[in-house]
Chain A
Amino acid sequence: MSHLIPVSDTAEVQPAGAVAAAELQESVRVRRHLPWWRLLLRDKFATASVVWFVILLAFVFLGPLFLSDKATAVNLAARNAPPGFSHGFLNILGADPLGRPLLPRLMVGARNTLAIAFSSVICALVLGSFLGMIAGYVGGIIGNLIMRLADVISSFPSLLLALIVLYILEPHVMNLVLVLAITRTSIYLRVTRAEVLEIRERAFVDASRALGGGAPHILRRHIAPLVAPTLGTIVTVDFAAVMLAESALSFLGIGIQPPEITWGLMVAQGRNYLTQAWWLAFVPGAAIMLTTLSANLISSWLRIINDPAQRWRLEISRKEAKP
């Protein structure tokens, strides 16, 4: 790959002539035209991850329409049915000790698992970026107080924090979302604060202030758009982390309570039948793993396309790379 020269380095390597500059302009212009989905297709792992998420979303939105009654339908003839076609298409992934088919249960569980993770991440994002902007832009005593609070929260293991809160409050969906959001807030807070501290010193912020722009206006119009891409990358990693945390809590029996279903709870329930029906614990766990892995892969793709020093790796196709 040594003959590939990143766009940012070209200017140093070549003599600064008009021709070179024109070439540089040309190449930059051409490369900017690559739409995001072409960049996505260049990364096979990220593409597969997006496909998996599309399938999941189809599960989440279409599954409950047809299958929610099937997920709780008891059929003693299919008790602990192994994966396969012997008990019909719905039992393709097997059935649980009450003969409830695993596939529809997995779909209903997907809705709960994803909804909890999604709402927690959004809550943490909103709360964290808001507090981070205050801490970064306003600073002072309030900023210090916010940062110390974030220190206390983040220096304590998230699962223990969740354990305490869910022990004190009821293990209800709202409380679960709340506690997961609180444990993740400090990441957004720190990143937002660090970025705001740097951006607020730039000339265009000064200009806006000189023109009479107030703090809310500057934060919304000038600072927020620049912080957003960084936060977007964190959101995808965090989605995976929150999903793992929720699954672990549900697995331990202090998260979502039956008869609701989440993937973590399904693993916990399947654990009791490990020797008779291994698929009950294995399949939902595999679903968790595929989803968290996909989120992490998408995040690393996002990190590459948002990084000017690395973006060229995806912009130059393999054909171009081998002249």
Chain B
Amino acid sequence: MLRYIGKRALQSAVGLSVLIIAVFFLARLTGDPAKLLLPINADQALIDEFRAREGLDRPVIEQFGVYVWNVMHGDFGTSLRRHRPALDMVLEAYPVTLQLAFTAMALVLVSASLVGSVAAYRPGSAVDRTVTVSSLISASVPDFWVAISAILLFAVTLQWLPTSGYGSDIRFWLLPLGVLVLRPFGMLVQVVRASMIATLSSAFVRTARIKGMSEGRIIYVHALRNALLPIITVAADQTVGMINGLVIIETIFGFPGIGKLMIDAVMARDFPVVQASILVTAIAIFTLFILVDLAYVALDPRIRHR
């Protein structure tokens, strides 16, 4: 088991290195941040001074060496825009994003399991067809458009909720969560349904019925647990995919999370912040995948990783 985790961690480290190298060198191939950040009428002396201070005048290879050395020591560089350590900015933004993502994913998992199981109980019934079509719709809507339409309806017209903003008040969270949940929910319902249809027709379900077990217990305790493996695989993919949604949701609703930080950094060509946020996100994703692998073993003792 330990060897397996070690192997996975090594694979992740290789992936991470490829990512660091690619981002670093590709980023240096284009625009000069000195030209972008300084005023248009800045004279050459000012540009040279700026480049010297930020280390942009040295050979790219040397810049890379220094960068890797610093990253190893937890120093991701200083934001060109805010003059603060990039890692601090990223770590400040992360809790907001994690809170959003985990709340949304918990909602998705619970609701998709319930709804998908109900649909799978009688395949082809009216309930099933309604669930199938509405989950398709929910998986097809552009989230930015739903977000804007929801703001228009609930914030502008009905004035029930604030248009955007961040705070501990639950009213700030309702719209972002609602929009964020849509696509993963639509995808996951379809997977739960398919997986549950297969499980509900297996022999142990029939045995449970013969034993006189209640239908609710059969569906939600016995069948769902056995249908869980494909569900978790897709849920992990959806969690990664949710980062796409987070970038959009945080931008529209003004949440100070990692997605908004990244977009702002890209727009301002703030190298260190872009690099730090990508790296931290990648580490989070690789950790998630290792956790999912461990969950497989916990759920199905037949799986033994070598």
Chain A residues packing against B (C-beta within 8 Å): 1, 45, 148, 151-152, 155-160, 163-165, 167-170, 240, 244-245, 247-248, 251-254, 264, 267, 271, 274-275, 278, 281-282, 285-286, 288-289, 292-293, 295-297, 300
Contacts and interface: CB of A to CB of B under 8 A. Distances in A.
A281 B19 contact: no
Nearest to B242: A157
B247 A163 contact: yes
Interface string B231-251: 000000000110110011001
A157 B251 CA distance: 17
20 contacts: A148-B11, A151-B15, A152-B19, A155-B240, A156-B240, A159-B248, A160-B247, A160-B281, A164-B26, A168-B23, A244-B140, A244-B142, A251-B144, A252-B251, A264-B142, A274-B152, A278-B152, A281-B148, A292-B140, A297-B136
Contacts of B244: 157-160, 245, 248
Contact of A168 (B29, B145, B148): B29
Contacts of A158: 241, 244
B285 A289 contact: no
List of 7 A-B pairs having minimum Cβ-Cβ separation, nearest first: A285-B145, A159-B244, A157-B243, A293-B140, A292-B140, A168-B26, A152-B15
A206 to B, nearest CB: 31
Given A155-B289, A158-B244, A251-B144, A285 B149 contact: yes
A167 B136 contact: no
Contacts of A282: 145, 148-149, 152
B38 interface: no
A245 B241 CA distance: 11
B282 interface: yes
A267 B144 contact: yes
Interface in B129-186: 133, 136-137, 139-145, 148-149, 151-152, 156
Nearest to B124: A1
A152 B241 contact: no
Nearest to A295: B140
Contacts of A245: 244
A252 B15 contact: no
B142 A247 contact: yes
A163 B248 CA distance: 12
A228 B14 CA distance: 33
Interface stretch (B73-81, B106-114, B215-223, B266-274): B266-274
Given A274-B148, A293-B137, A248 B142 contact: yes
Given A152-B19, A252-B248, A274 B136 contact: no
Given A160-B262, A281-B148, 4 more contacts: A159-B247, A160-B243, A281-B149, A288-B145
A113 to B, nearest CB: 11
Interface class of chain A by DSSP: helix
Contacts, number: 124
Q: How large is the interface on B (under 10, 10 to 19, 20 to 34, 35 or more residues)?
A: 35 or more
A267 B266 contact: no
B254 to A, nearest CB: 13
B18 interface: yes
Interface in B264-306: 266-267, 269, 274, 278, 281-282, 285-286, 289
B52 interface: no
A115 B23 CA distance: 29
B282 A252 contact: no
A159 B244 CA distance: 5
A105 B248 CA distance: 24
Contacts of B289: 155
Nearest to B142: A288
B178 to A, nearest CB: 16
A281 B147 CA distance: 11
Contacts of A240: 140
A277 B9 CA distance: 52
A293 B145 contact: no
Give the most central of A170, A251, A254, A297: most B CB within 10 Å.
A251
Contacts of B267: 253
B27 interface: yes
Given A167-B274, A168-B30, A248 B144 contact: yes
Contacts of A254: 266
Contacts of B266: 163, 167, 254
Contacts of B137: 289, 293
A292 B30 CA distance: 34
Contacts of A252: 247-248, 251, 263
Contacts of A151: 11, 15
